[in-house]
Structure 1
Amino acid sequence: MAAAPPPTGFAGLPRPGTEAVRTLRTLLDTAALGPVATYQHLGLQAGAGVHLFYASTGYEPVWTQPAGWTAAATEALGWLARAADYGLPPAEYDWQPLQALPDTLRLLQADRLGPRLGLFELQLTDALLRYTTHLQRGRLLSTTLAPAPLATTSLTAADQLRQALDTGTLADFRAACQPTSRAYQQLLLAWQATLAAACPEDSARLLSGEQALFRRVAINLERLRWEAAPDSEYAMVNIPAYRLALVRNGRVVQTHRVVVGAPAMPTPTLNSRIIVFITSPEWRVPYSIAVNELLPKIQRDPGFLADHHYELRNAANERVNPWRVRWRHVTPQTFPYTIRQTAGRTNALGKVVFYFPNRHTVFLHDTPVRSVFARPDRALSHGCVRVENPLLLADYLLRREGTAATLRPALTGPARHEKHRFDLRRGLPLHFRYYTCGGEKGQLRSYPDIYDKDPALLRAFFARP
């Protein structure tokens, strides 16, 4: 198959001779060894992307000339040297060996210059494709923490890089390869501001050491790179920050303190959509809570149920008198009942509960114990998320629907103690996330690793090959 003709307009790049083209074509020829062995022999991790890139340029060098690197290559090497500014380890991209090209050329015999120059050319492209892929999608797989394969992603990066060079917009290429979410941009800006404000000695300290701030910033930027592009409007719960934020067009318009799951019953990360909320809800007690927490109290005093506005029901959904149950014969394994708590001041769900589809059966809700929101440590629930000032959230949702006036009668009218259901036509995208570091107004913020998730990610992210 004939190679694609080289694109025109590579701004500022010299036009190479036919010998350089022949060298690259020969180096990338996979006929003898096959693609995998060829790329391994050349030291290319993103070999398929490198090959596609040069096939699209007619195998013309982009970064090298007889005297060494081009101006564009010098700019690209500067990117790799400052990879830590973006939460990536510079050593990953071999920038120091690549910088040695001019010295290497001075030591080589004339007949060896071409192949060596061609190898440097390919390795810089390989490093750039890996760097931009990592900027865009992360270095690891979010599910397993294994290194993310480059076979497909490097092809996309190769096409993007070629287009950037073709249009002379290399300076904008790196920015275009990064996530656009508010959380990512805020953390990145805060990290770079921290580095800029530090003296050289402090900057070196920030970038070194087992417990360096860089390591925490890096793994949280990695988490943010795993995320899909954000909606224009959404709600996000950052679990370690104990905070729910409503974001519209990249701007936080409303925040709520929250209580999240205790370490033994962690709140999951998820993506969903708030589609309905209910005022004056009843609480159907989960079976695990019923048998592990309520059963011992009922066995000591069956009056506990009435005192806390619980109803005991059998399999036919009929109310059962707890005083007529022989509780000493009931065990967690034989418990045949369901327990419901009626609406009211003591209801565990408070005045309102928000539902969204998810396989974990968690939800957002109010709580009658509002003093917990003053605590700095709020990993206290069974996994659901308790929201401070939840009626403000309900009002926000209804204002989006154009029906905010319907909330007041349900809360203050004659039927205020009756259950009211509010279905949302639009719904609101909802994301539960786990970030132990963030940025606010140019300042870094660290949050407790309440579920001990950081160590595994740190080990995988900074593993030595």
Structure 2
Amino acid sequence: MGGGVQAKGFHRDHVQTGPLSVCIVVDDHFVRELCAECRHCLTALCIAGPRCWRGNMYVDEQNIIPRETGIWGRAGLKYPEICHSEGQRLGCGFINYRFRKHWSPMRILILLSLLMVSLTAKADLRGELQSLTEHLVVDGGSQLPSGGRVHLPVIVEDFYSRQDYQAAWQDRQQAQRMLDLLRGSFDDGLSPDDYHYSELMALWSLRNDEWPEKDRARARFDVLLTDGILLYIQHMAKGKVDPRLLDPTFNYAQLDFDIHTISGQLQQAIAEDSIDEILERLRPAMPFYYQMVAALRHYRALAASGEFRALPTDVVLKPGQEYPVVPDLAERLVQLGYLPSAGPDRRYGGAVQDAVRVFQRDHGLDVDGIVGAQSYHFLNMTPAERVDALRVNLDRVRWIAQDLSDEMLVVNVAGYELYYIRGDELLWETPVMVGTIAHQTPIFTKRLRYLEFNPTWTVPRSIIGRSLLPKFKADQSYIAEQNYLLYDRRGEVVNPASIDWANANMGNFPYRVVQQPWESNALGRVKFMFPNSYAIYLHDTPSRYLFSRSARAFSSGCVRVKEPLRLAELLLDDSQQWSLSQVEAVVDSRKPQVRVPMEREVDVMLMYWTTSPARDGRMQFHADIYGKDAPALAILDAPPEAS
């Protein structure tokens, strides 16, 4: 080795006498001599100036410090052991690892010539990047000069200007992993082509040496990959669909994509090679999200198999009778995960009927084991329709994933369910009623402030005009029978007999209507207050018989809870003062308006999910009662708009 240090892991020819087959590789920071057979680095010449930082390799006038996580490690190259005393220096940071051969003047001349070519190419690429990115914000309105568009032009231009228009994706292996990440967006229900995946792959397949107008094509690839990664990060952080376009009441906190902050963070993430880790951290941590991802794979595979055929719907199936469609029904239940296997038996009953009952429960239907119109509707829901529903709801989870509390009451309006969650644990769930189609429950979140036992109900003006005033005019005795009191502007009780009911209308009816605590109070025995401008809250109801219905959109917007006293006990979480029996005792005392403040931070989250987790790891699919899925899917499928 001529006094040098033998390198570990090198091709055996490196330590033999005689000619050695080598090749020269040039990038924006180094001219490298590689073994042509095993591609190990033999020499490196830094061309980035007197000081440069590239990955984790720092080169200055005194030191060259390669690390395992640095540029060579990311390129899959192994390190020679460095003998600094044997190294020769040329300009900034040149080291010749000595083997049984030495550099000739001709070799040095060739290397310096390549250096000049590299510096020229670097300048050309920089000029192309500057021209292209400035065009986006000055002239192009997000359009690229040669066609196509960038979705985040302002952030992209800021990113490149911050790094003096140097190319961002110089590490080929890193760029390949980024392309793989963009392709993986498909698994989260997103479209890889929203992130330029097909165009990037077309450019990538040509490689640098084969690109026409090399610098322009390379600049285009660099900008598109930067834009694609930024947009993918944004969609994973807060969803592709802007929820405020569909629900103006939506007020969940979402990440703010500040231009300068995002540009700096992307620079750091590229240098640290941590973008895949960032995306993984942004992916919602809720188990529900991963259940939907798994279901999405399943139904995509089922759709691709072509094995799904609609069941005939002309016969209502009742237990104990024979029908030709029963074997096909059993096969459908196998496809949907409700039966392990199907057989030829035409008699409807046994395991098939049991599976139908579970299917009905999971889909919010009346659980009677009878297969009629509603059951057929969900049984014939195609795999493609289920895929669409899952994609929409995966995005809805991304909307709120950055605003999750340690303790929360989550109301799924479409599923008529309330979930009490603490940490990662589902403590309890109960059925609820929600607003009708005409008076929909809004989507928003607020902090739970207090509980009130034996509450009064101050009737909203909208309900007075829509419901109560016509009843009062028709029969004034209804006011006393339902325990209402009327208050004037001074707060004094008004005798209903003093009102001119014949001419009463909302324009001349200034009274505040308050229903007093009693067993038929519209709010029942307890209400859960999270003050908001919509007068929406959780509460008990005297109409408990309606919980027997599978579809429970009956309220004027508030959420009626099936087991409110049990919920109160769980929330107060004090077995000494607020056991269930003590809660019931307060209610039975009929003492009005017993208010108990919340001592913990619990958020109420009203959401709308047409898929949700069922027992045994399956997914429930709910009727889209408010018709919100179709507009969300249309935006999800449309190309992204520039911002």
Q: Structure 2 vs 1, CA of residues 139 and 413 (structure 1 numbering), >3 Å: closer, same or farther? A: closer
2:3 alignment counterpart: none
Q: Distance in 1 between matches of 2:305 and 2:266?
A: 35
Superimposed CA distance per residue, residues 133-187 of structure 1 (whole angstroms, 9 cap, x where no aligned partner): 22222234332379xxx99467655555544444454543431232334554443
1:454 paired residue number: 629
Q: Report whether the alignment pairs 1:72 with 2:174.
A: yes
Q: TM-score, normalised by structure 2?
A: 0.61
Give the conservation status (yes or no) of the 8 Å contact 1:93–1:127.
yes
**Counterpart Cα distance in 1 of 2:411 and 2:174:** 42
The correspondence for 1:6, drawn from 48, 54, 60, is 54
Counterpart for residue 274 of structure 1 = 448
The one-letter code sitting in structure 1 at the alignment partner of 2:597 is: D
Do structure 1's residue 41 and structure 2's residue 214 form an aligned pair? Answer: no
Aligned to 1:428: 602
CA 1:159–1:189: 2 relative to 1, 3 Å: farther
Q: Partner of 2:560 in structure 1? A: 386
Aligned match of 2:496 in 319, 322, 325? 322
- Match of 1:143? 244
Could you say if the C-alpha distance between residues 161 and 188 of structure 1 is closer, same or farther in structure 2, counting changes exceeding 3 Å?
Answer: farther
C-alpha displacement of 1:255: 0.9
1:132 equivalenced with 2:228 (yes/no): no
SS of corresponding position for 2:414: helix
What amino acid is aligned across from residue 394 of structure 2 in structure 1?
L
Match of 1:201 in 2: 305
Which residue in 1 is equivalent to 2:370?
Answer: none
SS at match of 2:283: coil
Q: Retained in 2: the 8 A contact 1:21–1:59?
A: no
Structure 1 residue 85 corresponds to structure 2 residue 187: yes
Counterpart AA for 1:295: L
In structure 1, the residue corresponding to 2:243 is in which secondary structure? coil
Corresponding residue number in structure 1 for 2:513: 339
Q: Which residue of 2 aligns with 1:222?
A: 395
Q: How does 1:9-408 map to 2 (within 5 A)?
A: 9-10=70-71, 11-13=73-75, 18=119, 21-30=122-131, 36=137, 37=139, 40-41=143-144, 43-50=149-156, 63=169, 70-101=172-203, 104-105=206-207, 108=210, 112-144=213-245, 152=257, 159-169=264-274, 171-181=276-286, 183-192=288-297, 194-195=299-300, 198=302, 200-201=304-305, 212-227=385-400, 228-323=402-497, 325-399=499-573, 404-405=577-578, 408=581
For residues 265-297 of structure 1, the C-alpha deviation after alignment (integer angstroms, 9 at most, x for no partner) is: 111111111111111112222233233322222
Greater Cα offset, 111-120 or 217-226: 111-120
CA distance in 1, matches of 2:490, 2:417: 41
Q: Which moved more, 1:429-438 or 1:16-25?
A: 16-25
Q: Measured at CA, do residues 446 and 33 of structure 1 come closer, stay the same or move farther in structure 2, by a change above 3 Å?
A: same
C-alpha contact 1:269 1:432 (8 A) present in aligned 2: yes
C-alpha deviation, 1:414, in angstroms: 9.7
TM-score by length of 1: 0.82
Identity %: 29
Question: 1:18, CA displacement in angstroms?
Answer: 4.4
What is the alpha-carbon distance in structure 2 between the residues aligned to residue 203 and residue 95 of structure 1?
30
**Larger RCO (CA under 8 A, 6+ residues apart):** 1
Q: CA deviation at 1:445?
A: 2.5
Indicate how the Cα distance of structure 1 residues 13 and 47 shifts in structure 2: closer, same or farther if over 3 A, else same. Answer: farther
418-427 or 362-371: bigger deviation: 418-427
Q: Secondary structure at the match of 2:612?
A: strand
Q: What SS does the corresponding residue of 1:252 show, helix, strand or coil?
A: strand
Deviation sequence 1:408-459 (CA, Å, 0-9, x none): 4453269711121111232411111122233446433322222222233233
- How far did residue 367 of structure 1 move? 0.5
Give the 3-state SS of the residue equivalent to 1:431 in structure 2.
strand
Secondary structure of 2:285's match? coil
Amino acid at match of 2:554: L
Distance in 1 between residues matched to 2:302 and 2:485, nearest whole Å: 61
User: 4+ residue runs of structure 1 moved beyond 6 angstroms?
Assistant: 55-60
Alignment partner of 1:411 out of 562, 567, 584: 584
Please give the per-residue CA displacement for 1:186-245, whole angstroms capped at 9, x wherever unaligned.
Answer: 4334434544x647436999xxx9964333323322232222331111111111111111
Deviates more, 1:162-171 or 1:231-240: 162-171
Unaligned runs of 5+ in 1: none
Q: Distance in 2 between matches of 1:92 and 1:373?
A: 43
Name the CA shift for 1:438/1:191 in 2 (closer, same or farther; >3 Å).
Answer: farther
Secondary structure of the residue that 2:599 maps to in structure 1?
A: strand
- Structure whose alpha-carbon radius of gyration is higher: 2
Stretch deviating more after TM superposition (28-37 or 416-425): 28-37
Query: Relative to structure 1, is the Cα distance of residues 73 and 202 closer, same or farther in structure 2, using a 3 angstrom cutoff?
Result: farther
Q: 2:618 aligns with which of 443, 447, 459?
A: 443
